[in-house]
Structure 1
């Protein structure tokens, strides 16, 4: 064997050895990512998730306060420990401006798609298996809008399903897709005015004692938050509780 052939053989052997010892790459959607093996709703590689009424995701490591507190603190502009309707609407319009990437005052289909794939991809992973509740969508999240003008989600509208879908698992209200839920005329375009009206309707639904203020300890807990507090599988390999 020539000297050149010996050199090529040595290089090939070293390459094969390196390939054999390299760890396998984690495929898209693998552990720690939405839809991955170790994910499950709420796990996300050891993170908690909260989706604000306007659709903004807030994440926090497991062991830290549930991120509804981070949303509330940011929306509470005067830091008095309560959200007024004006503060609630202002926070919703702030996030509207984030999704409205071209700042033309309208969220169109392309911007909705960017929201669902880049900002809050967890909400398009389908229904959470094993999680059941009453008919989804009284007002927000399901059937037709109520007399108070509450928005409804196109994804949940008209469905008889009672499975927690989309953002509902991480939200205060049963709206699977909060951004599209503000589309009052169903033209697949959300104007700033529609977003403001949706925010007012959501505030009215959350203001159960009708005192014009929302306090953190008065807000309902999201299904994900309740499951985490009950220790029912939102960490580690987690996911929703299995049926027995």
Structure 2
């Protein structure tokens, strides 16, 4: 019995010795902060580098066709309809269930249930933390709060709408017409136009939860 134990232990000891002799794989550069994400009221994603202005500014600048620093109802609706033409890939005048699936998986995958919450305080793709860092407790609390109440596009949006494209399907027939998309755009404008003056100003827009969290973390 003793000889058997000894015979088995020798190969194991040799394997352990070889493993210890192997140099540890070199650590590559740590992934940097992830890109920022903004999803427009119509559901269109805008992305920017971590050091760039939050991409709500890029959306606003493009939608402001008159370049007067304001978005009126017509500009807001026109911006939504521009995105409608992108989603209506077969140009039949409606966004089908298949086209909506393409939207979720290819155009704005951040809204999927299993998507990593970009900019919401999580790890960079493939990143690993070794031990606690200053502010980790606060970050965990922020992530917990965000995860409890926000789904889909909501963390990156001005409005708490998890799926803004599907949300335009007023008659629930799994097809979204141009009229439906425009009608919901006008409703969203009315919600954002809190003072009722018929115009939106960038600095007066609410900050998205992702934007708020990034500002909080930068201020630590």
TM-score with structure 1 setting the length: 0.64
Q: Paired residue for 1:206?
A: 192
Task: Name the structure, 1 or 2, with higher relative contact order (CA <8 Å, separation 6+).
Answer: 2
Q: Partners in 1 of 2:145 and 2:176 — Cα distance?
A: 30
The within-5 A match list for 1:101-140 is 101-126=89-114, 130-132=144-146
Gaps of 5+ in 2: 1-24, 118-142
Deviation at 1:46, TM superposition (A): 2.1
Is 1:188 matched with 2:174?
Answer: yes
- Which structure: greater helix fraction? 2
Pick one of 154, 174, 190 that aligns with 1:168: 154
Q: Secondary structure of the residue that 1:131 maps to in structure 2?
A: helix
Larger radius of gyration: 2
Q: Paired residue for 2:80?
A: 92
The within-5 A match list for 1:27-38 is none
Is 1:226 matched with 2:212?
Answer: yes
Q: Partners in 2 of 1:108 and 1:98 — Cα distance?
A: 13
* Number of residue-to-residue matches in the alignment: 167
Contact 2:154 2:162 in 1 (8 A): yes
Q: Paired residue for 1:59?
A: 47
Q: Secondary structure of the residue that 2:195 maps to in structure 1?
A: coil
Deviation at 1:71, TM superposition (A): 0.1
Deviating 4+ runs (over 2 angstroms): 125-129
The alignment yields a C-alpha RMSD, in angstroms, of 2.5
Is 1:81 matched with 2:69?
Answer: yes
Q: Secondary structure of the residue that 1:59 maps to in structure 2?
A: strand
Deviation at 1:92, TM superposition (A): 0.1
Cα deviation digits, residues 51-107 of structure 1 (max 9, x gap): 000000000001110000000000000100000000000000000100110111100
Gaps of 5+ in 1: 1-22, 24-31, 33-37, 134-161, 234-244
Q: Paired residue for 2:14?
A: none
1:174–1:51 distance in 2 versus 1, CA, 3 Å: same
Q: Partners in 2 of 1:232 and 1:206 — Cα distance?
A: 27
Contact 1:126 1:166 in 2 (8 A): no
